[in-house]
Amino acid sequence: MLSKPTKMLTKVSIFIFIAIVLLASFKSHAQSPKLELFDSNGAPAGPAIILKSDANMTLTGLINHVVVTQTYQNENPFAVNARYVFPLPDESAVHAMTMHIGERVIKGQIDKKVEAEKKYEEAKKAGKQAALVRQQRPNMFITNVANIGPGEQVIIELEYQEIIDYSSGTFAIRFPTTITPRYHAISGEVEVNTQNQAHVNPLPTGWLSPVYSIQNITQNSTQNDTVPSSQFSLNIDIDVGLELVDISSKFHNVDVQNTAFGQYKIALNEMNAVNRDFVLEFKPLQKEQAQAAFFTQQFENGDRYGLAMLIPPGDHFTQTQRLPREMVFVVDTSGSMHGQSMEQAKKALFYALSLLDSDDSFNIIGFDSIVTPMSDKPLIASDFNLRRAERFIYSLEADGGTEIQGALNAVLDGSEFDGFVRQVVFLTDGSVSNEDVLFKNIQSKLGDSRLFTVGIGSAPNSFFMRRAADIGKGSFTFIGSTSEVQPKMQQLFDKLAHPAITNLALSDESGNSLDFWPSPLPDLYFGEPIMVAIKLNDAKSVVLAGQTAQGPLSIKLSTQNSSSAQGIAKLWARQKIKSLLLYNEQSTVKDEVQELALTHQLLSPFTAFIAIEQTQIKEVAEQTAQATNAVPQGMAMRLPQTDGQSRLHILLGCILLLGFGALKINRGLKLSSEYK
């Protein structure tokens, strides 16, 4: 007869053995070659529809005109509804949509979002083929296609425009191909150095998540093992009127042809291209030719719009005496940064430390679900403190949720500073969904600090990064690989070392204020241009006024010698919508934004494109298939990505707790028998 302690130990041993067998089975299953679909919360998703996507770009002047074609192929023996959550550049002005069904072409119409959604649902239930395109975020969109018949193909064509980026003598265009899974903040408050309890992680109202295709997932696998379920092609025509040098794709293989003077054709030459942002950079042979540019668009009713790019001379950024500065480096250590993103962030921090001067002070703050500062106060950049900082950086690990608001609360409190400059450098992939809450937090607590955002990873949330820098009166830098860390951080520190031009505004030759956007204009840093869209009307010249460290700035641009361009009015409206939503409560500007979007045929939070084929099909679709996104390159596959939870870690923890409990029970039973 076994004693009670022996029985208890036997039962616990059997349980632990079974748990270990299950754990090994789970690991083996995870390593087996298998195609699975997951949403951004890690939940399994149904089979997806086949998607082919093409992008054709035409760069003229300062504007990139883009046509994106999405081809949905239903290989099922029954009708389906298709859905696709996809990215576009955060500054894109989406102004047209067309649906192709065989030889039939249905032109999409802009409408109020609520009305468009209602029309789409009615058409779907009636068995009609329809398409609906909406904006979920300025860089995140949703296409719905209703009632695609068995074996049928439906093509959705989208058109958008954007202003070409120019900074530090280099033009750049960026096309996102996938979406980093978003973290949905649990609450607005995060205590410093305290452990958060588990809470329900609610989705924002109406939020639709991407789904991801994953193959050969192992415990430590990365995107190199992922096979995308979609096809993608990209072609670019460049005609900016300048001879170019150093045309290079930063993260993809491309073919480049110089067809004529100042004209170039670029084609993507790579199969697995949809797991990271596409970035193309090119430089003018004569940089002085790109110091100023002005384009105008004239309408029959007399309205005239302008698009201006101006780089003030470098001597406007000099100062007689360098002020001491306090540098605060805030680094995202949440689960979505796991893998290559964390490596890039650490390398950027190490390089930043090497650029500090002896009279600078600094601090480093890591954050995920909690905020962990290196020091409770800024430290002088001495050798001892720099070595301490290096040890702190080495210790950083990616896990937990992306609670950015807690980090912002730790570094911004509305304070003003005399005798020194306080600059906050924020390194993150920005993979959050509560951007508006964070923008308001920055606006209310910025004080005299300046916020500079550094986008890390292969597919960062550029909408958050760019807008946060605008409100924070800083600038946005993107680092897409470890090879870019040194040159990009050097460019950032060149900006940090020079005083900004502030209080920028535009007027006509008579001093009358112009209707320009974005407004207010952000502070201007060394090597950056002013990019602004203006409603000109009868203005013969535009005067840029601002304040430099040496005194007032005034630069005059003539509108009479400008070049003609198309699409400027839409870019003006897009920039106005951006500024209205960024600096105001959404409810107070909804009517104005909606009217602007309807007038200029633009997607917005309150408008959508709808296209309906009036002919009814035989079969009404009862199932919805969602086109998949590729997992961003370099991201360790531990879905859900950004909250850092691991079923493996939880199971191991349970086993250890049970084992410890069994020992305690055994000890208690022994003591009890001794007393008897």
Tens of pLDDT, residue by residue over 164-173, are 998 888 999 9
CATH number, domain containing residue 157: 2.60.40
Count Cβ atoms within 10 A of the Cβ of residue 623 and give its class: 0-12 exposed, 13-18 middle, 19 or more buried.
Answer: exposed
Q: Are 156 and 82 in contact (CB under 8 A)?
A: no
Sheet holding 623-626, edge to edge: 109-112, 607-616, 128-137, 140-148, 80-87, 623-626
**Domain membership flag for residue 601:** no
| Span 581-598, pLDDT tens digits | 999 999 999 999 999 999
Same domain, 292 and 360: no
DSSP 326-349: EEEEEEE-SGGGTBHHHHHHHHHH
**Domain membership flag for residue 22:** no
Q: Which two tokens stand for residue 329?
A: 């480096």
The amino acid that residue 68 corresponds to is V
**pLDDT for res 32:** 30
Same domain, 291 and 379: no
Q: Which two tokens stand for residue 357?
A: 């001067």
| Span 455-479, pLDDT tens digits | 998 999 999 999 999 999 999 999 9
**pLDDT for res 553:** 87
Q: Which two tokens stand for residue 428?
A: 């993150």
**pLDDT for res 635:** 76
pLDDT tier for residue 25 given thresholds of 50, 70 and 90: very low
What is the rounded distance in angstroms from the CA atom of residue 292 to the CA atom of residue 527?
13
In angstroms, how far apart are the furthest CA atoms of the chain? Answer: 105
What is the rounded distance in angstroms from the CA atom of residue 68 to the CA atom of residue 57?
9
What is the rounded distance in angstroms from the CA atom of residue 228 to the CA atom of residue 231?
8
Q: Which of 41-55, 192-206, 243-257, 491-505 has the highest mean pLDDT?
A: 243-257
Same domain, 425 and 294: no
**pLDDT for res 110:** 98
Taking 60 as the threshold, does the pLDDT of residue 198 lie above it? no
Peptide bond into 640 cis (omega under 30): yes
Q: Which two tokens stand for residue 99?
A: 């649906």
Beta bridge partners of 56: 67, 235
**pLDDT for res 188:** 43
| Span 298-348, pLDDT tens digits | 987 889 999 999 887 766 666 656 678 899 999 999 988 988 899 999 999
Based on the structure, what is the number of domains in the chain? Answer: 3
H or E stretch at 310: strand 304-310
Beta bridge partners of 163: 63
Of residues 38 and 55, more confidence is placed in 55
Same domain, 78 and 103: yes
pLDDT tier for residue 576 given thresholds of 50, 70 and 90: very high
Report the share of the chain in percent with pLDDT over 90: 54
Taking 70 as the threshold, does the pLDDT of residue 526 lie above it? yes
Phi, psi of 393 (to 5 degrees): -65, -45
**Domain membership flag for residue 664:** no
Q: Helices 435-445 and 404-411, interaxial angle, to 10°? A: 0
What is the rounded distance in angstroms from the CA atom of residue 467 to the CA atom of residue 571?
17
Phi, psi of 118 (to 5 degrees): -65, -45
Beta bridge partners of 157: 69, 98
Q: Which of 466, 497, 528 is the last residue of a domain?
A: 497
Taking 80 as the threshold, does the pLDDT of residue 232 lie above it? yes
CATH number, domain containing residue 364: 3.40.50.410
Q: Are 133 and 141 in contact (CB under 8 A)?
A: yes
Q: Which residues contact 384 (CB under 8 A, 6 or more apart)?
A: none
Beta bridge partners of 257: 265
**Domain membership flag for residue 567:** no
Q: Which of 149-153, 496-500, 612-616, 651-655 has the lowest mean pLDDT?
A: 651-655
Q: What's the whole-number average pLDDT of the chain?
A: 83
CATH number, domain containing residue 513: 2.60.40.10
**Domain membership flag for residue 619:** no
Q: Are 545 and 505 in contact (CB under 8 A)?
A: yes
| Count of helices and strands (H, E) across the chain | 11, 36
Q: Which residues contact 578 (CB under 8 A, 6 or more apart)?
A: 91, 138, 467, 517, 518
Q: Are 336 and 635 in contact (CB under 8 A)?
A: yes
What is the rounded distance in angstroms from the CA atom of residue 495 to the CA atom of residue 507?
27
Q: What does R_g of the chain's alpha carbons equal in angstroms?
A: 28
Q: Which two tokens stand for residue 240?
A: 């900016």
Q: What angle do CA 178, 139, 312 make, to 5 degrees?
A: 115
What is the rounded distance in angstroms from the CA atom of residue 488 to the CA atom of residue 446?
25
Same domain, 76 and 119: yes
**pLDDT for res 667:** 57
Same domain, 265 and 154: yes
What is the rounded distance in angstroms from the CA atom of residue 297 to the CA atom of residue 567?
8
Q: Which of 4-13, 106-115, 305-314, 599-608 has the lowest mean pLDDT?
A: 4-13
Q: What angle do CA 412, 644, 637 make, to 5 degrees?
A: 125
**Domain membership flag for residue 272:** yes
Same domain, 62 and 174: yes
Same domain, 486 and 510: no
DSSP 44: B
Its domain, for residue 469, covers 325-497
Q: Are 341 and 431 in contact (CB under 8 A)?
A: no
**pLDDT for res 596:** 97
**pLDDT for res 497:** 85
Q: Which of 42-46, 564-568, 594-598, 622-626 has the lowest mean pLDDT?
A: 42-46
Same domain, 237 and 148: yes
Same domain, 342 and 415: yes
Q: Which of 355, 337, 332, 342 is nearest to 486 (CA)?
A: 355
Taking 70 as the threshold, does the pLDDT of residue 143 lie above it? yes
pLDDT tier for residue 100 given thresholds of 50, 70 and 90: very high
What is the rounded distance in angstroms from the CA atom of residue 455 to the CA atom of residue 89?
14
**Domain membership flag for residue 301:** yes
**pLDDT for res 299:** 87
Same domain, 490 and 453: yes
Q: Mean pLDDT, to the nearest integer, of 190-213? A: 59
What is the rounded distance in angstroms from the CA atom of residue 498 to the CA atom of residue 319?
8
Taking 80 as the threshold, does the pLDDT of residue 31 lie above it? no
| Span 426-452, pLDDT tens digits | 999 999 999 999 999 999 999 999 999
**Domain membership flag for residue 478:** yes
**pLDDT for res 666:** 57
Of residues 19 and 538, more confidence is placed in 538
Same domain, 168 and 77: yes
What is the rounded distance in angstroms from the CA atom of residue 265 to the CA atom of residue 112?
38
